[in-house]
Amino acid sequence: MSETVPDLLVRDLAQVATAAGREAPLRGADLGSIEVVEDAYVLCRGGRIDTVGRMRDLPAIDGDVEELDGSGLCAIPGLVDCHTHLCFAGDRVAEFALRAAGATYEELHAAGGGILSTVRATRAAGAEDLRAAVERHRGWMRRSGTTTFEGKSGYGLDHDTELAQLEAVRAAGGVPTWLGAHALPPEFDDRDAYVDFVIGDVLPEAARIAEAADVFLERGAFDAEQSRRYLEACGAAGLTLRLHGDQFTESGAIPLAVELGARSVDHLEATGAEGIRTLAASGVTGVLLPASALFLDRPMPPARALVDAGAAIALATDFNPGSAFCESLPLVCSLACTQLHLAPEEALAACTVNAAHVLGRAERLGRIAPGFLADLVLLDAADWRHLAYHLGGDLVHAVVERGSAVWSRGA
* Residues contributing to the site for ligand NIG (CB under 6 A): 85, 114-115, 118, 216, 244, 247, 292, 318, 320-323
Shortest Å distance, C-beta 191 to ligand NIG: 15
Spatial separation of the C-alpha atoms in residues 232 and 239, rounded to whole Å: 10
Select the binding partner of residue 114 from ligand NIG, Fe ion, none (C-beta < 5 to 8 A, by kind): ligand NIG
Chain centroid to Cα 78, Å, comes to 12
**Shortest gap between Cβ of 321 and Fe ion (angstroms)?**
11
CB 19 within 8 A of CB 78: no
Spatial separation of the C-alpha atoms in residues 173 and 167, rounded to whole Å: 10
Which one of ligand NIG, Fe ion, none interacts with residue 322, CB within 5 to 8 A by kind? ligand NIG
* CB 172 to ligand NIG: min, Å: 19
Question: In this complex, which beta carbon is closest to ligand NIG, that of residue 18 or of residue 84?
Answer: 84
Q: Select the residue whose beta carbon is closest to ligand NIG and give its number.
A: 322
Please, which residue, 14 or 262, has the CB nearer to Fe ion?
262
Residue 134 CB, nearest distance to Fe ion (Å)? 16
CA atoms within 13 A on the CB side of 371: 4
Min dist. Cβ of residue 324 to ligand NIG (A): 6
Out of ligand NIG, Fe ion, none, what residue 118 binds, judged by CB under 5 to 8 A for its kind, is ligand NIG
Smallest distance, Å, CB 318 to ligand NIG? Answer: 5
Give the burial class of 46: count Cβ atoms within 10 A of its Cβ; 0-12 exposed, 13-18 middle, 19 or more buried: middle
Q: What is the DSSP secondary structure assignment for residue 318, as one 8-state letter?
A: -
Q: Which residue is nearest to Fe ion, using beta carbons?
A: 318
Task: Choose among Fe ion, ligand NIG, none what residue 181 binds, the Cβ cut-off being 5 to 8 Å by kind.
Answer: none
| 240-271 CB burial, b ≥16 within 10 A, e <16 | bbbbbbbbbebbbbbbbbbebebbbbbbbbbb
Residue placing its CB nearer to ligand NIG in the complex, 17 or 288? 288
What is the C-alpha separation between 371 and 357, in angstroms, rounded? 17
37 or 87, CB closer to ligand NIG?
87
CB 266 within 8 A of CB 242: yes
In this structure, how many other beta carbons lie within 10 angstroms of the beta carbon of residue 130?
23
Q: What is the smallest separation between the CB atom of 209 and ligand NIG, expressed in angstroms? A: 20
Total H helices, total E strands in the chain? 16, 16
| Alpha carbons 115 and 125: distance in angstroms, whole number | 15
Q: How far is the CB of 216 from ligand NIG (least distance, A)?
A: 5
Could you please report the per-residue DSSP string of 127-155? HHHHHHHHHHHHHHHHHTTEEEEEEE--S
C-alpha to C-alpha distances, 83 to 4, 8, 80, 111, nearest whole angstrom: 31, 30, 9, 26
Give 37 or 198: the residue with its C-beta nearer to Fe ion: 198
What does 321 interact with, of Fe ion, ligand NIG, none (CB < 5 to 8 A by kind)?
ligand NIG
Interacting partner of 165 out of ligand NIG, Fe ion, none (Cβ under 5 to 8 A depending on kind): none
CA atoms within 13 A on the CB side of 352: 35
Select the binding partner of residue 157 from ligand NIG, Fe ion, none (C-beta < 5 to 8 A, by kind): none
- Distance, in Å, from the CA atom of 125 to the CA atom of 127, rounded to the nearest integer, reads 7
Residue 115's binding partner out of ligand NIG, Fe ion, none, with CB under 5 to 8 Å set by partner kind: ligand NIG
Point out which residues bind Fe ion (CB under 5 A): 318
Nearest CB to ligand NIG, comparing residues 41 and 295? 295
User: Considering CB distances under 5 to 8 angstroms, the limit depending on partner class, which of ligand NIG, Fe ion, none binds residue 317?
Assistant: none
Q: Which is nearer to ligand NIG, 177 or 247 (CB)?
A: 247
Cβ proximity of 232 and 256 under 8 Å: no
Q: Which is nearer to ligand NIG, 227 or 323 (CB)?
A: 323
Closest approach, Cβ 207 to ligand NIG, in A, equals 21
Q: Which is nearer to ligand NIG, 144 or 320 (CB)?
A: 320
